[in-house]
Amino acid sequence: MNAKTLVTLDDVGLSIGGSVILTSAKLTVAAGEKVGLLGPNGSGKTTLLRVLATLLRPTSGTGAVLGAELGTDEIYAVRPDIVLVGHLPGLYPELTLGENLRFVARLTGRDPRRADEALAAVGLAAAADRRARDSSKGMLRRTELARALIQEPRLLLLDEAHAGLDADAIGLVDAITGRVVAADGAALLVSHEPDRLEVDRSLRLVDGSVEEA
């Protein structure tokens, strides 16, 4: 794998419970790239993101993420460099937004005070003490984006990138993905709204395979 290539998938297939989700996905993402991923509901976009996040092991084909071969123990070392913002929030409902981010900061060896800075950066400074379960979908989404600011990932994966976000927060998506690619990382954004995607190129997932859009 080229030193500047962060993601490669070569004929990756994945079946879950007898259902074939990916058939022969081919994909290359270089450092500094912002890539959009499009496709109809049920086409496997979320599954593909989970493969790239190393959370699902391919059942066929080969691939590497941040230099770690998928399906091997190498993935454990690179996971902290990956942030996946799924369509369901990875937050603990009973913890406040600030506590959720401080939990992440401490476990990734960062200064917990960065949680407050990150919340301020996404416009949630006043909501730091609000429990996640009492927060709106947009606030949870902003908090997830704040998590990306804390972790400074090399690979940022955004599922339903613009779901639940107002116009200001959509600008945040662009700003945060921009920071990641500027630091020689890469961002992959799934969206149903191609017009709102500010990306270098877009791919389309069709019948379990990835095509240029």
Partner 1 sequence: MPFWAQVREIARKDLVIEIRTAEVLLMTVPFAAAALVLIPFAIGTDAPLLAELGPGLFWIVVLLFGVLVILRKSAVDEGPQQDLVRLLGIDPAARFTGSTVATSLLVLLFEVALLPILIALYNPDLGGWWWMAAVLPLVAAGLGLLGSLTGGVTASLGTRTSLTPLLIVPLALPLLVGATQAVESLQLGRSILPWLVLLAAVDLALAVSGVLAARPLEEVTT
Residue among 20 and 211 whose Cβ is closer to partner 1: 20
Find out whether 114 and 147 touch, Cβ atoms under 8 Å: no
The Cα-based distances of 60 to 8, 72, 118, 123, 149 in angstroms read: 14, 13, 39, 43, 34
| φ/ψ bin of 16: left (φ > 0), alpha (ψ from -120 to 50), beta (otherwise) | beta
CA proximity to 151, closest of 96, 90, 74, 65: 90
The Cα-based distances of 94 to 55, 122, 132, 211 in angstroms read: 25, 21, 6, 41
Residue among 43 and 151 whose Cβ is closer to partner 1: 151
State in angstroms the smallest separation of the CB of 194 from partner 1: 25
Residue among 92 and 175 whose Cβ is closer to partner 1: 92
Residue among 73 and 195 whose Cβ is closer to partner 1: 73
Contacts (Cβ under 8 Å, ≥6 apart) of 160:
87, 190, 191, 192
Residue among 79 and 179 whose Cβ is closer to partner 1: 79
State in angstroms the smallest separation of the CB of 124 from partner 1: 18
Give the tokens for residue 50. 């989970």
Cα distance between residue 189 and residue 182, in whole Å: 16
Site residues for partner 1 per CB under 8 A: 16, 50, 53-57, 76-77, 79-80, 82-84, 86, 88-92, 94-95, 99, 103-104, 106-109, 131
State in angstroms the smallest separation of the CB of 106 from partner 1: 6
Q: What's phi and psi for 207, nearest 5 deg?
A: 50, 40
State in angstroms the smallest separation of the CB of 92 from partner 1: 6
Residue among 16 and 20 whose Cβ is closer to partner 1: 16
State in angstroms the smallest separation of the CB of 57 from partner 1: 8
State in angstroms the smallest separation of the CB of 211 from partner 1: 26
Cα distance between residue 185 and residue 34, in whole Å: 9
